[in-house]
Structure 1
Amino acid sequence: MSCKFVLKSKTKWWPEAADLQEENEARAEAAELEVDELKSQLADYQQALDVQQTRAIQYTQALQALQRAKELCHLPDLTPESAEDWLDTFQAKEQEATEKLLSLDQKMSVAQTAHSQFEQAYQLVVAINGPVARSDAWSVARELLRDGMNQRHLAEQVQPLRMRLNELEQRLREQQEAERLLADFCKRQGKNYDFDDLEALHQELEARIASLSDSVSSASEQRMNLRQENGSAPVPFAKAPATRADLACRAEQPEPAQRAVRGKRLNPARTSRNTCNSCWSVSVKRSLSVMKSVTVNVKLTKRLNA
């Protein structure tokens, strides 16, 4: 009986308890949502507070920096409102100072390079010229450069000068040879000749050679005519005594020519006459050859002296 009563009581209050539980659960969820929202707001407030504190710190630092700027720049009227204008002014000055610094740095680099080059040039001048003062190094270097250009010019002229020297030496040898030939020629002729008389003597001897050649040709034709008139009979000739000219011609002839002359003993007069003419012709031709050499060398000597 009691159990049934308890069961009936529980069954009666069960829907109310269920409603109450649902209501409590809804309140709990709403409370949780409200707590989460409060937490979110608290976090936002904390972040905003941090920002405000950061800004306050920055503002304090800005005020301190502004005070230091007043003291350093000697600007008692510097305010936060005029700080931006002063900042633009100082930035422009900073840009100008930076450009000047870069220009000075470049000039310093150029100066260091020039100093290094000067030092190298100075050491080179000292090595070439010996010890010299730095103040005089520029003038000494210019003199050395001028001397170097002159020496280079002379070095370029060494080969032409050497060729010219060889040519002059050759002409000197030719002049000496011409003087020797002229002395020999004068000794053989027994008479002294000047250089100016050689051309006239040369022409005279050539004329005599031409005349003698004509005479020899005429004598040869006469001999041929006599042979044709007399047939094959030999023409008798009387033996003529050897003259001084014959002896001179024989002495000037080489050994084969002397043997040929000795082999023609059958007609001594004709042989002596032909041999003398031949020797005289050879002697004159040799003299003409010597005179030609002397004349050519004399002309070269006169040209060289001119």
Structure 2
Amino acid sequence: MGIYTFKEWLSFEDAAAWLSDATGESYDENSILRLALKGRVPVHYWPTDDAQIVLYRVEHDLASVNPVVEAFVRLDLSGCEPICLVDGPVPIRNFGIFFPSSQNNKAPGMVGLSAYPEEESGEYGCYRLGEDDRPQSIIEGRFEVLIHLSDLQQLRAGLPMPRARQPHDLIMGYANIDGVMESFPLARSTAEWSDYPDSDLPLPQLVGDPESKTEPLLRVLGLAAHLIADLGKQLDAHEQIESSKRRYMKGVDPNISRISQALADVASGIRLEGHNFKGAGFSKLLTKALRELE
């Protein structure tokens, strides 16, 4: 089975292997890079360090200059307005400009990703979320450039001379979190993606004494439970309606069932499910962690 098996989002290495197997021809990462630089296959940006990507309305330092944000641009940070979070991989509309910029992080200014949301006026760009909600260069942290499987399939259908294609856009919408009545604005790629890229983390392997390795982590988690309980107690002190209290404390101890349910609700809202980190899984883990503090 190939390195791309069961993946919806493929790296250039994955894409080269997929295309080689699908056509019987030989492709490598440089082949895919050339196709992307020529605009023959759409590509996306994905942070691999858990950074939040935000769509901003941007202002330049010099009003007479209107550069492409994939180049190094000097922004007027005080005039940049955050619009909404971007969910999932972000379309790279000008990869031919972005790629050389990403290879040089010493130039002045910041690199972003161009965006043209519908029914919006002004200039927009996607940046990492920095301090005080201000934009941070998209190349500041770790990231990957990925290709969606459906785009790779269209590329194959157009061989041997695939035509240039329009990059994907961002579409604006709203998202809801389970248990919360309000919705919040969210942008996402027009690519018909269904899941986030694989993290490619190694499968867990138990070597030696697993308890000795997990004990420090459990103690940290136990301390976190106490902190959550204490913060909940402080918030409850300000509630005027008894039914609105969170009750994260049970006497002088953390209320494990309430904390675990709250964590499970948050996990569900951000699609972090599995690995026993839901409901009873949280409760059992917290109970074990608190015992390490006794």
TM-score between the two structures when normalised by the length of structure 2: 0.16
Query: Which structure: greater helix fraction?
Result: 1
TM-score between the two structures when normalised by the length of structure 1: 0.16
Bigger Cα Rg: 1
